[in-house]
Amino acid sequence: MNTRVTPDKSPPLLSVSQLNRQAKSLLESHFDFVWVEGEISNFAAPSSGHWYFSLKDTSAQVRCAMFKNRNQRLKFTPSNGDAIRLRCRVSLYEGRGEFQIIAEHLEHAGAGALQAAFEQLKAKLLAEGLFESARKKPVPVSVSHLGVITSPTGAAIHDILTILKRRFPSIDVHLFPVPVQGEGAAALIARAIDRANQWQREGKIKLDALIVGRGGGSLEDLWAFNEEIVARAIAASELPVVSAVGHEVDFSIADMAADRRAATPSAAAELLSPDQQEWKQRLQITEGNLVRAIQRKLAAVTTHLSHLNQRLKHPGAQLRERTQRLDELEQRLLLAQKNTLLRHRGTLALLENRLMAESPLPKLEQLQRDTLLQRKQIETAMRQRLQDCTNQLTHMAQMLDSLSPLGTLQRGYAIVTDASGSVVREAGRVSIGDELEAKMANGQLGLIVSRVD
């Protein structure tokens, strides 16, 4: 009996990594880019900049990843509960063996991503008060120097220049050329707004206002004017800004941030320029009024001049009249001076007589005579008084001399004093042997008492 050995048909042995890698390759090769719609949950945005979330419907969910190089192109950031559509690749995360999809593009389901981004930015800036009328600057009714920020080849600049040429060609227009759609257009528009304000501040150019805008197009074409950087540049502008984006039905974030919105670029040009025909009519009316006023003034001046001419006399005649009048005034002046002099002389004589009547000279002479008489009387009285005093003094001297001790001494008497100089008036006050002194008229005697009676 022949025995046949059957070769081993068992599958190859794979590692987990190999299995996941092959499954990932199979998934990615089988599926092309697909669109998937669902609701976001478990949204996460770590510091790496990548987004991770789940996309679910009523009965299933799938893990999703959207890397930084893709999500930074979006105009909005999704959040949990948002209904979205994804353009994605089907893949597998080898590290955990999880089935996932890699998003390349994301937009809101229904309204679309651009409209959602528009509404999100509008709500954000509205909450900041960027659209408040209180912060908007007044736009001049007419300008002399206008800045226009738009494409140099677009329909907007053509329409603006056409309107200005028709309405008021003397307006000086300074074009700041920028792209108005595509990648980087918003940043260049914002930079042009900043540059216009900077040049105005530095005196490099003179501007009264700015027009920022472009012609019509789709929402995608107009999107540069829905960027936050453009809205903030418009709000920060020191120059008044008129936004003119698209057609009348188009409404952009730039329109809300601007100081004034114009439905079209042509409407913006009309808003900032006077109508030269209207001005011409007003000037013609003003000119007519001025001519009529000048004519009335000339007629009045002519009439007044004629009247003055009739009253005007020849200078020679006026000079003769003035000379005659001067002579007359001179005579009147001389006569008035003479009369005044005579009147003053009479007054002076009267005052002189009154002064003489009141003169103190006679009284002074009388007083001098009285004084002389009284002086003589006083001298006589003084001499008589002096003689009486002399006689009285002589008499009293004689009486005093008669009573003087010296006179007594002359008559032979003596004054006896003791050793102390006291006059001895009684004999009982001395004792035998006391030394006494006797003063006589012509000398003194020293005495010793030998007997007391």
Nearest CA among 178, 199, 201 for reference residue 188: 178
User: Identity (one letter) of the amino acid at 143?
Assistant: V
Closest to 151 in 3D by CA, of 93, 215, 105: 215
Asked if the domains at 16-110 and 119-274 fall in one CATH topology, the answer is no
pLDDT digits (tens, 9 = 90+) for 24-70: 777 777 777 888 888 999 999 999 899 999 999 888 899 999 999 98
Q: Average pLDDT of the chain?
A: 84
CA distance 200 to 204: 6
- How many other C-beta atoms can be found within 10 angstroms of the C-beta atom of residue 229? 15
Q: What is the pTM of this model?
A: 0.46
Element (H, E) at 215: none
Amino acid in the structure at residue 322: R
Lowest mean pLDDT among 134-143, 349-358, 388-397: 349-358
Report the CATH number of the 119-274 domain. 3.40.50.261
Nearest to 94 by CA among 181, 200, 22: 22
Give Cα 60 distance to the centre of its chain.
69
d(CA 189, CA 178): 6
Handedness of CA 126, 128, 131, 134 (dihedral sign): positive
Summarize the confidence of residues 127-144 as an average pLDDT. 90
DSSP 42: E
Helices (H), 258-360: 265-271, 276-311, 315-357
Mean pLDDT for the stretch of residues 285-311: 84
Between residues 20 and 296, the one the model is more confident about: 296
> Which residue has tokens 């009316």?
285
Radius of gyration of the chain (CA): 71
Question: What separation in angstroms does the CA of 365 have from each of 1, 358, 371, 374?
Answer: 209, 14, 10, 14
84 φ, ψ to 5°? -130, 170
pLDDT for 9: 61
Can you tell me the mean pLDDT for 294-316?
80
Q: Which residues contact 217 (CB under 8 A, 6 or more apart)?
A: 181, 246
Annotated domain spans of the chain: 16-110, 119-274, 278-308, 366-403, 409-448
Residue with tokens 């738009």: 150
Distance CA(380)–CA(374), nearest Å, equals 10
Q: Which of 110-114, 228-232, 441-445 has the lowest mean pLDDT?
A: 110-114
Please give the full DSSP string across 432-444, using - where no structure is assigned.
TT-EEEEEETTEE
Q: How far apart are CA 205 and CA 147, in angstroms?
A: 10
Q: Which residue did the predictor score with more confidence, 372 or 117? A: 372
CATH of domain 16-110: 2.40.50.140
The string of pLDDT tens digits covering residues 425-443 is: 787 788 888 888 888 778 8
Element (DSSP H or E) covering residue 314: none
Buried b (16+ CB within 10 A) or exposed e, 426-435: eeeebeeeee
